[in-house]
Each structure stands twice: as structure tokens, then as C-alpha cells.
A and B are shown apart, each in its own frame.
Chain A
Amino acid sequence: MALDNQPKREFKVVGTRPPRPDGVDKVTGRAQYGADVSAPGMLVAKILRSPHAHAEILSIDTSAAEALPGVKAVVTWRDFGPVGDTIIDIGEDSSPLADIRDNCLARGKVLYDGHAVAAVAAVSAEVAKAALKLIKVEYRVLPYVTDVDAAMKPGAPVVLSGRVEETVQRGMSENVTHYCEFGHGDLESGFEAADVVVERSFTTAATHQGYIEPHACLASMTADGKADLWCCTQGQYNVRSVCAEILGMEASQLRVTASEIGGGFGGKTSIFIEPVALALSRKAGRPVKLVMTRDEVFKATGPTVSTSMDVKIGMTKDGRITAASSHLRYSGGAFPNATVDMGAQAAFAAYDLKAVRTFGWNALTNRPKESAYRAPGAPQAIYAVESVIDELCQKLNLDPLEVRLKNAAKKGTRSSYGPTFDDIGLIATLEAAKAHPHLKAPLGPNQGRGISAGFWFNFGGNTCVTLNINTDGTVSVTEGNPDIGGSRASIGMMAAEELGVPFEKVRTIVADTASLGHNDITDGSRVTFAVGLATIKAARDAIQKMCRRAAAIWGIDEEAVEWVDGAARPSGPNAGQFPPLTLAEIAAVSFQTGGPIAGHHEFNADGAGVSFGVHIADVEVDPDTGATKVLRYTVFQDAGKAVHPDYVEGQMQGGAVQGIGWALNEEYIYGADGRLQNAGFLDYRIPVASDLPMIDAVILEIPNPGHPYGVRGVGETGIVPPLAALSNAVSRAAGVRLNRLPMSPPRVLEAILSKG
């Protein structure tokens, strides 16, 4: 379904800012989050985790724990069955099911500090904790590696054997499991044509999604093998698929209900505790609740990749990029992944380049398996690229925004990752930034301004929606994606727009896995685009049925009925012959005219449309302490069409804030023992309100031709530019280029002192 042929469609609901439909529940504490669900006879579960970064498990003795009064079940890897070679699509890449299983409960080896080894279900948390202390695990400690560059060296401790893909060059460490290369053109000639070439190396730390709600679930399996699972997740259908396979169940026997979700950002596309809770419930014959502590969340759930990168860019004196290359080395922890693919493709996507090449490697390290985090892989690569472009602008005394405009990708540009762009909004976004007062505001001493462009792909994916016309004239939309970014509102608004009824007449429900066909995870900035599109089609399906009912009531052909402003009207030769029949009037007599009325649509959505953003950051650096204060921040991003502008602004602001955290403070710190040193919010510092200025958001609306209202995804692009925008601003304020994130005060101070 392409963009509707209505050049300037006047929307009545889309584009307005109604109150969020789940707001009252959330602010009054009525909303049911993961840990809020309980069941009669419920047990409490706790997990025993590895104290070692890398060790062979020689034996596990659970007998003493099982004998403890109040303990009802203990599980280890032996309670999970074989899963064959199945590869399953969750989050940012397709993972072998065996890896997901072995991350839930270690099999043979523990691969990182905090890797789950065994679990206990008991009548209370205290008994469960006491039981954990009675489990005897005999380890043989192995050498470990937590740094990506060290892991790639020949002779590095091998995290997992036999996982190297066929694309990886010979002679590298066995930890290097994946290699990719993208690009086109003649790099050598391109660099020769440049007046200045800058080549720099960069590193970024692993960062955690930092959602407020820890992972939590309640599992209940009955004696006949039927199970229910309530959990906080971005994708209940994938939880069902994975758990059913690991537990050896048929999917139909497991119903998964997604709770409200206290933040995800990609980190709840993964599965860590749900199969464990199900296995405990199966063994105990009672419901089992399992809630991670914050320490466990940091140690055993997905941070991002940590990276080491080299970027080389050539530029002429007038600001034309002649050639660009990057070498990206990503580690996503102890299991193979291919996040570097997306970083390598995104690195130079904002630019129209004749010669461009990116090379990427993924390496295993003794760290927790990464999870997706907003635009996985892209912020890191684009940080390195945009930093070098900024340095070139400084060397050539060029305006950084004009340079980006001069080189910007546009319709017809062959992208750095292969396809030719259709309509894209980058130039409009840059022009909006150029015209904004922020860019002209004066700066004071020790202050600097940084800008950065950013890119993300956006996806569609498998989607299924049912829309019921209730007999009282209201509408129920049933969709299958947890609401992590305001989708109840945006979906309801699109239903109301299409049907021609007030938004308040529509209620959107997130279905469990038994109530609706498969829906892909809430990821890839896909939901407002794909579920919205399916909702529009489901509404049109219902409209067609309502027109047919009206035609039958009037005794005319259904082709002679049109839907206008929420009512069926006779058209053509019958126009004006009958008064319109509203949705409510048709619904009220639906039993008499053929039965209930519903619309439905299912598909694998395509046409999501890529997304660009431009960020401007002003900072002040304290030369005595190295501390950075963010003074002003403005985000410009193309939303295609902003269905609910408050939510779009929220996504843009939230991405910027998280990116500020990555840039200035957040990092996984490992000790000499290979153990995580800062597994808590006191030592792992995310930005809080007092660290931040108002994040100004400027929404652009360049319609996506792949959606009838022009909608694009907006959830991920916002985290792509901040790393470079902050780094460029801090580098200009400090008078010295910084090439390592986070730019914490000691590092900034060290850089200032090093310049003499």
C-alpha cells in the first residue's frame, strides 16, 4: 500500500496530542508490570550465577539445596532438552537456539561473570537464597579475555570453539566469528584526490539499556503440560517460540502474555529467565515467579557491543569527501552475533560517496551476551565517522553543517551499503538545523558546539491486527506488540482516523499469543509503521463490510456506497437518496444484518523507509576537573508523519538523553579478575534530570511513500548522532580531540593536561 494519493491530506486525529490511554493506570500504580503478577500457591525463584569470567563446570551438586525444607525445585542445564540446529530471530540478529538456551543456564562452561548456572524455586525468597548457598559447583578456572582487541589477537583465550564463519580470514584468533565488508568505488584514487586525509582510532564502551524495570516473569505449568507465562518483553511471540523449543513443548500449549514494560530499548527482545521459570514450575508443579535483581540485570543481560574502530576520510579544501573507509571491531560478549553488519552498513550512509568501504569483525569476549539497544551497531560507527568529519572541518576551517550538506545523500544516491535511496529527508533535516537559532547562538569560554548526522534503516516485519466494531459504536483494536513507545495511542489514532470516529471511541489491546497470529518483536522502529499500516488495512476491511451492510439496508449495490466522516453514504446515482448511516447505527443493527463486524489484516510489512537525524549539542568543559555540562541540545529528525507528536518528541528526546549517557558517563568496567566492577546505578551512571538541559525536538515530516499516511519509524535514529555531537562539542570546548567514550571527567582532564 503506497502513500495514499492525497497530496495534502487533512488529518482529523493523526497529528493531534490526545492524553495517553494508559496514563492513568501507570501514574496510579494500577498497571501490571512484570513483577506485579501473582498466582495462588506461587513460589519464588532465585538464580545461582558464576563468580568467574571463564571456567569449566566440572560438577554441580544440588542435593543439599533440594533437601532444604521449603525448596520445591532445583534446575540446571540438564533440565533443558536438545534444540538441534534451529536458528531463531530475536532482537538484533538471528541466534542459534542452543546459544539462547546455554545463556539461560550454562552448559559445560561459564562464559562470563554472572552467567546463570542453577536455579531454585522455594516457598520464599529467603529460603531460595539459602538454597543457592547449598549448591556446590566445582569449577576449573580458565584464562579469560574481556577486551575486543585482545580477543582478536592470535593466541587469545578462546571463549567458544568452532564458531568461526566461512568469511573470516585465516590466521585470526578463533574468537573472531564474523566478518563483513561493504562499499564501492576506488579508495586509493579517492584518497589521492583529497587535500587532507585524517585517519583516527576510536573505542567505545559497552553500555546498558538501563530500563527501570528489571526482567521479571511468572510461569505456571500444569500437570498435563499446558503452561502460561506472564513476562515483561518486547515480543511475546518470540518468547513463546524460544521457550517452547527449549522446554520441548508445542507452541500451542504455551500462552505468553506481555506485561506492561518498564523500559526496553531493545534490551527486552532477549530471553534470559523465562525458560528457567517454566522449568522450575514444571518440576515443582506450582507457579513460579522470577525477578532479576539490578545486579543480575547488569551482569547477565544485554549491554551493547564494545568497540574498537579506525576511520579514514579524505576531503578537498572546499569540503567534498573524496574517499572514506572504516575498520570496525565489535564484541557482543560470549556468544556469536553479527551486529557489526549494521554498524558497517550505517557508518557512511548519510553521505553521497564515490569511494567508500567498511570492514567489520565480531569477536567473542568473556562478557554477557549483548542485547539490542536502539539502532544496534550504528551509533558507535557513526560516532567515529562524524568525529573524523568534524576534525577535517577544523583542519580546513570549514563549516561542519555546510560540509554535511555538500556531501549529503539524497534521492538517487547509491548508499554506502548498496541500494539506491528513494525519497529521503536528510537534506531537509540539515537545512532545518542550519536555519535554527541554536546554530547561531553565541558560545562562552570553555564552551563548544558539536553537530552530527545519523542514520537508521527502520523495518516492517510480520504483523497481525484485528479490529472489532462493537455494537455500541465503539472500536476495539487487538494488536500483538507490547507498548514501549506509545503505540496504543498511535494505533488507536490511526484506527480512529480511518474509521472517522473520535479517538476516545477506540481502545487498543495488546494480545497474548493465543489471541492473535504471530507478531514480530517490538523492535526496528517498526510498530507505528507496520502495526499502524495493518490497522489501517483492518479498518478498511471493516469499512468495506459496513458499506456492504448499509447497501443491503438500502437495497442498492455495495459499489454505490462510500465511507465519509465515519458514515456510509450512497454515492453515484443514489447520492442523497438515503440519509447516511453512521458506524454506530450500522453496528447497532449488526446482528440483524449478518452478525458481528470485524476487520482483520495480516502481512509481512515492507516499505518502512530509512530515517535520518541531525543533532546539535552545546557543552561547557571545566578545565580544572574535566567535567562536562550539557548546555543546550536540539534534535532534528524526519518522522515521515508524526502520528502523536508528543510521543515522537519523546522518542527523539529519549534517544538523545541515552546517547548523552553513552558519550559522557556510561560504561561496563571490568577488573583484573575479569569481573564487572559497577553492576548498579550508583557506579554505572546514567544521566538524570539534573544533568540535562531541555532537549529541544524539531520534527520534520517528509512523507514515507511506503505508508498511506507517510509514517516512518522514529524510535532508534535518535540515539545515533549524540555520541559524535557530544564528542565534537567536548573536543572543541577542551581544545583537544577525544577518541574514547565515555568522555568521563578523568579522561577529559587527562586529554586537557596532555595538550600542555
Chain B
Amino acid sequence: MVAVKLWGSLRAFADGQEVVQVEARNFRELLDRLGETWPGLKPQIARGVSVAVDGLVYREAWFTPIKPDSEVVLMPYMQGG
């Protein structure tokens, strides 16, 4: 299981939890499980999210491995100017 921190405005769609547990080995599985378990998160996932794994921010990289003890934070889709 991986502990995933959600940003505040998403917590309403995960029973108010700040941290949710999902079974996932990589970025894609993480998003799939989050959407399956909490369908209310699907619109945000569809609009785009990044995932911070142990402090590094990843976008789109489905096969980025996630270890069970990794710090995982769901973040908005990150871009710049």
C-alpha cells in the first residue's frame, strides 16, 4: 500500500481524508486506483495531475516506480512560463 497525500480541495471527494491508502507500484496504477476508489477524484485526474514522489515532481510518467515507503503527494499539473 502507498500513502497518498491529497491537496485540500480534493479531500471532500475522499471522505475528508488528507492521506489515503492505495495499492500501486507506479504513477499510472496510483491514478487508476485513486479514481476507482474515489470516483469524485476522476474529474481532477482527467484535467491533469502531477505526483511528487520523495520530493521529485513527475508529470504523465506512468511507469515511475513508487515504493511502499515513498512519500507520495498528489499535486496539480505543473507547468511554467
Contacts and interface: CB of A to CB of B under 8 A. Distances in A.
Contacts of B7: 180-182, 417-418
A459 B8 contact: no
| Closest 8 A/B residue pairs (Cβ) | A266-B81, A524-B80, A181-B8, A372-B81, A418-B73, A419-B52, A341-B76, A181-B9
B80 A179 contact: no
9 contacts: A94-B48, A165-B43, A179-B9, A180-B9, A181-B7, A266-B81, A376-B79, A420-B55, A459-B79
Contacts of A524: 78-81
A372 B5 contact: no
Interface stretch (A85-93, A100-108, A154-162, A396-404): A85-93
B25 interface: no
Interface in B52-69: 52, 54-61, 64
B56 A92 contact: no
A166 B39 CA distance: 12
Nearest to A719: B81
Given A420-B55, A461-B59, A606-B58, A92 B81 contact: yes
A697 to B, nearest CB: 20
A499 interface: no
B48 A89 contact: yes
> How extensive is the interface on chain A, given as a class?
35 or more
A682 B23 CA distance: 59
B20 to A, nearest CB: 13
Contact of A459 (B13, B57, B61, B64): B57
Contact of A266 (B5, B57, B74, B80): B80
A28 interface: no
B60 A604 contact: yes
Contacts of A462: 60
Nearest to A705: B56
B68 to A, nearest CB: 17
Contact of B76 (A338, A706, A715): A338
A348 interface: no
Given A606-B57, A606-B61, A418 B80 contact: no
Given A165-B43, A265-B81, A524-B78, A418 B9 contact: no
Contacts of B40: 166
Nearest to A264: B81
Contact of B55 (A372, A421, A456): A421
Nearest to B71: A420
A371 B75 CA distance: 21
A524 to B, nearest CB: 3
Interface string A489-519: 0000000000000000000000000000000
Contacts, number: 122
A180 B78 CA distance: 14
Interface in B9-57: 9-10, 12-13, 18, 40, 43-44, 46-48, 52, 54-57
Most buried by A among B48, B55, B64: B55
A526 interface: yes
Interface string A44-78: 00000000000000000000000000000000000
A91 B52 contact: no
A734 to B, nearest CB: 31
Nearest to B46: A87
B60 A93 contact: no
Contacts of A606: 56-58, 61, 64
Contact of A523 (B56, B75, B80): B80
Given A420-B55, A420-B71, A459-B59, A375 B77 contact: no
Contacts of B79: 89, 91-93, 342, 372, 376, 459, 523-524
Contacts of B78: 342, 457, 459, 524
Contacts of A338: 47, 76
Interface in A706-754: 706, 715-716
Contacts of A342: 76, 78-79
Contacts of B60: 462, 604
Most buried by A among B61, B73, B78: B78
Where chain A touches its partner, the secondary structure class is loop
A222 B71 CA distance: 53
Interface string A326-365: 0000000000001001100100000000000101000000
A711 B40 CA distance: 39
B62 to A, nearest CB: 9
A267 B80 CA distance: 11
Nearest to B64: A606
B81 A373 contact: yes
A526 B78 CA distance: 12
A480 interface: no
A183 interface: yes
A387 interface: no
A269 B79 CA distance: 11
A345 B49 CA distance: 14
A374 interface: yes
Nearest to B51: A419
Nearest to A371: B81
A94 B77 contact: yes
Given A167-B9, A180-B8, A341-B76, A374 B55 contact: no
Most buried by B among A269, A359, A373, A418: A418
Nearest to B52: A419
A16 to B, nearest CB: 27
A418 B5 contact: yes
A366 interface: no
A730 to B, nearest CB: 25
Interface in A451-478: 456-459, 461-462
A92 B64 contact: no
Contacts of B76: 180, 338, 341-342, 345
B77 to A, nearest CB: 6
A608 interface: yes
Nearest to A360: B9
Nearest to B62: A604
A185 to B, nearest CB: 11
Interface in A418-438: 418-422
A525 interface: yes
A166 B47 CA distance: 12
B80 A375 contact: yes
Contact of A376 (B5, B54, B81): B81
A167 B7 CA distance: 12
B80 A459 contact: yes
Nearest to A167: B9
A421 B56 CA distance: 9
Contacts of A623: none
A523 B55 contact: no
B39 to A, nearest CB: 11
A607 interface: yes
Contact of A457 (B10, B46, B71, B80): B80
B25 to A, nearest CB: 17
